Structure 1
Amino acid sequence: MHQYIINASIQIVPIVLDKHPYEWVDEAIAIIQKAGIRYEVTPFATILEGTYDAVMKVIHEVNEFLYQKGCAEWITNLQIQIRSDRNVTGAEKTEKFS
C-alpha cells in the first residue's frame, strides 16, 4: 500500500463479565498510545492517523493483545478512509468547525 496518511477509527466493545468493559478498553488505548502514530481518544472510538501499514499494525496489535490477555469476546468496529493519491486527515475534515 502507498505511504500516504490514512484516517481511521477503532472502537472496541468487550462482551465480558470478568471485569468492567472500560478496563479492557483502557488497556487497548494504552497499546495505541505506545504505537507512535497520531491518535485522538473520543467517547465512542479512538481516531488513528498514519500510513496504512502503521494503522493496520496497531489494529492488529489491539486485537492480538485482547486475545493474548484472555478477553473472552469483543467486537472491533472500524472505519477507514484511504485516498489513493494523497493524505487524508481528521483535521481537514473538521477544521471548519473549530
Structure 2
Amino acid sequence: MANSLISIQILPKTKDGEDVIPYVDEAIKVIQESGVKYEVHPLETTMEGELQQLFDVITKMNDRMIEIGSKNVISQVKILYQPSGITMDQLTGKYR
C-alpha cells in the first residue's frame, strides 16, 4: 500500500505570457508516464505512491517545464505521509 498522497499545482512562468494549459498538460503527461495512481482536479492533481517516488515525479515535472521553455516554475505541494499506508479512496471514497 502507498504511504503518501501528494497534491501538486504547477505554475510555470511561460514565454511572453503564453497560456499555461499546454504546460500543465505536459506536467500531467509526466505523471501519466510515471505509472503512479493519480487524479486530476480543477486546481491540482493528486498522486498516490511512495514518498520518494512521488518526489521524483515532481522533480521530473519541474525539469520538463524548463525543457519546454518555462523560465521558472512554482510548485505548490501538499503532502500526506502515513507510513502505515494511505489511499485516495480511504479519504474520498465515500463521496463517490
SS of 1:70's equivalent in the other structure is: coil
Q: Does 1:7 align with 2:5?
A: yes
State the TM-score, normalizing by the size of structure 2. 0.88
- Shift of residue 15 of structure 1? 2.8
CA distance in 1, matches of 2:29, 2:17: 20
**Structure 2 unmatched runs, 5+:** none
SS of 2:34's equivalent in the other structure is: coil
Percent identity, please: 31
Question: Runs in 1 of length 4+ with deviation above 4 angstroms?
Answer: none
CA distance in 1, matches of 2:26, 2:48: 19
Larger fraction in helix: 2
Aligned residue pairs total 95
CA deviation string 1:21-63 (max 9, x = no partner): 1011001111110001101111111110011121111001001
CA deviation string 1:61-94 (max 9, x = no partner): 001111222202331100010013x111211111
**Structure 1 unmatched runs, 5+:** none
User: Alignment RMSD, CA only?
Assistant: 1.6
- Shift of residue 20 of structure 1? 1.2
